[in-house]
Structure 1
């Protein structure tokens, strides 16, 4: 694990005047895809961002991009499937920026394929990252989010969990990924009910097909199946989901977005 700080360089940016100015966000999976796009988007809105992922070089690049635009970011290179490491990521936000207002659980693994051909380590990886890592991050963040909701000018804090349309409908060769994403959606709703009167908003975003590297990690048969399924479909960009997260996090206290499904226009 390592932490690297990146400070403002005097470049004018929305960071000094954005709707999230004065807040701190932790984004997991920030090295690529939806996590990366979300971190950049929240920084544009003025949030200081803690970038969490295992690939230190990649989150360093994201931090440099934020810094170059006048924003503030620190990196936390660690594995959120380790509960102690997840807790350290949250503590980094508090020690570096003095608070935590927004948690975006965007880290995800998709290793779909024929059940008989699947390796148990692939199933374990999906459960560890998609579900357990999200649980560990949320557990560690909650005390700080509750405090932010009470003491901040916004009078609200946010947890945004990135699930999937695979958390709404099951499909062949997707059993374990389905299980983790159904779990994310269910846990988010339960937490929403538990903490809604404390002004901690829990939201789940369920993307359809997004143009990220996740599809390339599946078994070859599953990759071919996906290619056929999404032939002719203009996939979403990671920035489309980042916009959805920003809409949720910048909403006034009175408005809570509980669940948002975002599919490509062409996706049935």
Structure 2
């Protein structure tokens, strides 16, 4: 069997780029995909945690490389993808997971935080797509998995800009899906997940509201399993959208 045929079978090892891999959903996804035998290229800003994660996974037999990554910098994202391609020969999947969530009411006028969310949550996803799309189209296969949120399905107070960015991720994902016949495009919308994202909230009202909101939360590995499920489908099956939320959550 030729090499090109082997990585088309769902049970075989795929080369996966993963952004925002240093904690939360990204870290859990790296752990699960590595355990399933996929080859990983992980990136994030916190290199100490990236290196520690990579070492842990390699000690368990995983094939993992890491690189410092700022998804708001298009050239950096391109270099990250190129690094993955140089290491493993090609790219099968990119998981655009990096995201920030500094919630606040609009009248708090935290414009810098709005811009940060737009840069990471929207531009970061677009940069990821731009870094892999030409090669994936050329090779005739590939998968783009974008992490949105239930905030991309409905809006809540203090989350207007955050929700706007996550609506954008869904729009971009669906647009890409419609524009290609060769690539699979998946958007995953997590409900409330235990993570460090809430720690980035500087607005007191929003932070307190998030604490009560998070009284019902699932662990990040629930989202990792959704990612693994989407990857594991045959090439002619595109899991377009998955919503994963706590059973007890009203949201």
TM-score, normalization by structure 1? 0.86
Contact 1:241 1:262 in 2 (8 A): yes
- 1:252 paired with 2:234, answer yes
- 1:137 paired with 2:128, answer yes
Match runs of 1:196-235 below 5 Å:
197-198=181-182, 200-218=183-201, 219-231=203-215, 233=216, 235=217
Match runs of 1:3-22 below 5 Å:
19-21=11-13
- Inter-CA distance 118–236: structure 2 relative to 1 (3 Å threshold): farther
Partners of 1:168 and 1:132 in 2: CA distance:
19
Shift of 1:216: 1.7
Runs of 4 or more above 6 Å deviation = none
Partners of 2:73 and 2:166 in 1: CA distance:
19
Of 200-209 and 119-128, the range deviating more from structure 2: 119-128
Gaps of 5+ in 1: 1-17, 151-155
Partners of 1:71 and 1:230 in 2: CA distance:
33
* 1:37-86 residue CA offsets vs partner (Å, 9 max, x unmatched): 11121112221111110111011011011101111111110211001001
Match runs of 1:85-104 below 5 Å:
85-104=76-95
Contact 1:230 1:267 in 2 (8 A): no
Partners of 1:192 and 1:201 in 2: CA distance:
7
Aligned length: 240
* 1:82-122 residue CA offsets vs partner (Å, 9 max, x unmatched): 01001000000111111100100010000101222242111
Shift of 1:225: 0.9
- 1:44 paired with 2:35, answer yes
- 1:30 paired with 2:21, answer yes
Q: Secondary structure at the match of 1:87?
A: helix
TM-score, normalization by structure 2? 0.92
- 1:240 paired with 2:222, answer yes
Gaps of 5+ in 2: 1-9
Structure 1 partner of 2:151: 166
